[in-house]
Amino acid sequence: MAHILVTGCAGFIGFHLSQALLERGNQVTGIDNLNDYYDVGLKRDRLSQLDIQKSFQFRLLDVADQKAMASLFEQESFDYVIHLAAQAGVRYSLVNPHAYVTSNLVGFMNVLEGCRHSDVRHLLYASSSSVYGSNTVQPFSTRDPVSHPLSLYAATKMANEAMAHSYSHLFGIPTTGLRFFTVYGPWGRPDMAMFKFARAINSGQPLQLFNAGQMERDFTYVGDAVQSVVRLMEAIPTGNPDWSGNSPDPSSSTAPFRVHNVGTHQPVRLLDLISLMEELLGREADRELLPMQPGDVRSTIAETEDLEAVIGPIQTTTIRDGVSAFLDWYRSYDRAEEI
């Protein structure tokens, strides 16, 4: 039974990943600081689903706390580390930039140091599709350079990939970066589009559409994203013997380092998503058309060939089935309209 550390276990993806690992028979230690970036009650409700399972232990811990993280790695022996804890959100980085440095940079350094000084087989960590920044060639490929972030959040995720590579090179730690593309589903974050749209349509409030809704996203159902991560966990990277510094491939290295897109390669227009949600909810949205927000990108489409080359065909839930599952949960969750 592998012992796995999941940071950010009370977060959206961390909660679903922890559940999937427990269902596989793994022992999971989850840590989270339960910060108030969004409703703490939602995080506690997710956590309550995990706490009832014998193979799960939770620790209230901030990854940015150097001493606490060092103590955790000294006390426990982890086979795998899946680092999902981070200060999320593109727009919030315009308001509270220091939170991103503390959580996403200092926190990740503490995770890297913990792995360096223990016998961890594989470190997987959350990156983001936002690292593609001002790239316009679609679909986004991990083989493309990423050097022009459009938000501080994206810049911290780019830095995480660079930090991971340095530790893979210097200390031989196998690392895999997970560039998530707009993950959605039950127990989702209230600051993300799916939750915001459902709440606005259901309550008859104005639905704010930036760039007049002329946006396209590679929506990825959370169950599909989690399955990709679980399968990547045991696909431990090794150095790429064909890698060349004359034409460097950003997705691999001579070190045990890889980066993968975690998406569907099936983009959806926001206006089409809203129409689908209107149909499923039986109500029309009051649409408020707004200009483009700083830090946003108009379109994201994931190239997934490299991912499939490693783990085989990816699981892909249709947008209709995924939105239906999300709305079923939303209508059953008694606090959905409050947060």
* In-domain check, residue 183: yes
Please name which of 48, 66, 67 lies closest in space to residue 58, comparing C-alpha atoms. 48
Q: Residue 123: which domain range?
A: 3-332
String of DSSP letters for 38-71: S-HHHHHHHHHHHHTSTTEEEEE--TT-HHHHHH
With cut-offs at 50, 70 and 90, classify the pLDDT of residue 288.
confident
* In-domain check, residue 337: no
pLDDT score of 297 more than 80: no
* In-domain check, residue 68: yes
* In-domain check, residue 338: no
Which among 92, 132, 153, 221 is annotated as catalytic?
A: 153
Question: What are the tokens at 185?
Answer: 């589903």
264: left (phi over 0), alpha (psi -120 to 50) or beta: alpha
* In-domain check, residue 305: yes
Q: Would residue 153 show up in a list of annotated catalytic residues for this protein?
A: yes
In 3-state terms the chain splits into helix, strand, coil percentages (rounded to 5) of: 40, 20, 40
The 10s digit of each residue's pLDDT in 4-22 is 999 999 999 999 999 999 9
Please name which of 260, 282, 272, 253 lies closest in space to residue 320, comparing C-alpha atoms. 272
What share of the chain has pLDDT > 70, as a percent? 100
The 10s digit of each residue's pLDDT in 131-161 is 999 998 999 999 999 999 999 999 999 999 9
The 10s digit of each residue's pLDDT in 311-329 is 999 999 999 999 999 999 9
Question: What are the tokens at 327?
Answer: 């709305």
Query: How big is the CA angle at 183 (ends 87 and 275), to the nearest 5 degrees?
Result: 125
pLDDT score of 163 more than 90: yes
We report the CATH number of the domain holding residue 252 as 3.40.50.720
pLDDT score of 54 more than 90: no
Work out how many domains the chain is built from and give that number.
1
* In-domain check, residue 339: no
